Amino acid sequence: MSSPTFSPTSSVTSSPTTPPPAATTPAAEPSPPATSAATPALATRLPAVGTTVFTRMSSLAAEHDAVNLGQGFPDFACDPKLVEMVAEAMRAGHNQYPPMTGAPALRQAIAAKIAALYGHAYDANAEITVTAGATQALTTAILAVVHPGDEVIVIEPAYDSYMPAVELAGGVVVPVQMALDDAGYHMPWDRVAAAVTPRTRLIVVNTPHNPTGSVLRDADLQVLADIVRGTGILVLSDEVYEHMVYDGHRHASISRHPVLAARSFVVSSFGKTYHTTGWKIGYVAAPAPLMVEFRKVHQYNVFSVNAPMQHGIAAYMANPAPYLELPAFYQRKRDLFRAGLAGSRFELLPADGTYFQCVRYGAISAMPEAAFAEWLTTEIKVAAIPVSPFYRQARESGIVRFCFAKKDETLALALGRLARI
């Protein structure tokens, strides 16, 4: 880098024979050769990806002191017994690397739960792997089986990690939009079947569905099985909200259907089930041949997962009541939230699962979804999430999503503000 130019504020005149004035500073050293400190140009692997809508809206909520019903996490604590069981695991010395596949006690507890609830017997040693949250499980499964040029059918609106993971694997995303009518969102099985080609490698499904709150039923599993039967197509099933299905219905896990279970990765999350989203502990269940490939990737992008938390969760799972009682726990919050908006200008869509409620706001504003969500956050002081970013090409439907996994007093505060619009 060149030296700065020194410009004196006054000049000194002297004859050639007169000694120059005494220097007040030492003469400058010669400048070193110019070198570049610029970062080399980089071709991005994910040109369409920026900061997630969840990060933006949560930041805006904090900036404006808004009630954050945007990002999907509880504002209440998990069971103190679970915390104590994790602490006990630490005191017992479970503080070093666990097995790459997960602590045996936890894998066995997961397999037992799936067998009891869904009737499918996974081998705890060969077919269950503990992951650093569900997003890691989803991405690892995609990287394990999708090759460059393979097509992956993704149902939109879709959780935001699916498509970037496909692109990182070199796959081709084939988006299929859910049907949307006055009764809400519906699975577009005719569109899914029409999207299948000889290059289709994977179909990604999500039930209960984020962001729409819709759920698959047993009849849906049969239709999906008919689509993939006799093909080499695999299924990736995101079931992180498996214990949040309401109104007396049961969760239609892919594990329930033998044809689908034989070709599927089934992903779930302890963060959603036990109110510990910050712990980032999840798991995947899959037939042994698929799990072999999954673990090849898993061992190099994570290797193993927090040891004491695995042992603490395994001990906690001995009592099934916390997840068996979860549907009633969240249904009460859903009903509380829906009742609070019943007299408002928001139009409630069905919320059959998850802890999300989607609403139409057409009677309030014609603003695009992102602008309306920002207005809610900055002016009404309640943060929501626009649904449009859950599409590959943003689709404006006049719908935003609220999260009702909050304390009753949090919901009451938010509802009081929303009802006045």
Whether 369 maps to a domain, the answer reads yes
Q: Domain check: are 362 and 305 in the same one?
A: no
Query: What domain range is 292 assigned to?
Result: 80-319
Among 286, 319, 352, the domain boundary falls at 319
Whether 46 maps to a domain, the answer reads no
Among 284, 319, 354, the domain boundary falls at 319
Q: Domain check: are 345 and 277 in the same one?
A: no
Whether 21 maps to a domain, the answer reads no
Q: Domain check: are 102 and 208 in the same one?
A: yes
Whether 258 maps to a domain, the answer reads yes
**Inter-residue contact 129 to 294 (CB < 8 Å):** yes
% of the chain at pLDDT higher than 90 = 87
**Inter-residue contact 355 to 244 (CB < 8 Å):** yes
Q: Domain check: are 93 and 227 in the same one?
A: yes
Whether 29 maps to a domain, the answer reads no
Q: Domain check: are 128 and 197 in the same one?
A: yes
Whether 37 maps to a domain, the answer reads no
pLDDT of residue 3: 38
pLDDT of residue 352: 98
Q: Domain check: are 305 and 328 in the same one?
A: no
Domain at 132, CATH number: 3.40.640.10
- State phi, psi for 341 to the nearest 5 degrees: -100, -5
Whether 395 maps to a domain, the answer reads yes
Among 319, 344, 369, the domain boundary falls at 319
DSSP string covering 286-335, please? --HHHHHHHHHHHHHHT----HHHHHHHHHHTTS-HHHHSHHHHHHHHHH
| Nearest alpha-carbon partner for 241 in 213, 266, 217, 272 | 272
pLDDT of residue 53: 83
**Inter-residue contact 277 to 271 (CB < 8 Å):** yes
pLDDT of residue 6: 31
For the chain, what is the domain count? 2
| Nearest alpha-carbon partner for 330 in 244, 234, 414 | 244
Residues of the chain with pLDDT under 50: 1-25
How many angstroms separate the Cα of 175 from the Cα of each of 168, 191, 226?
16, 10, 20
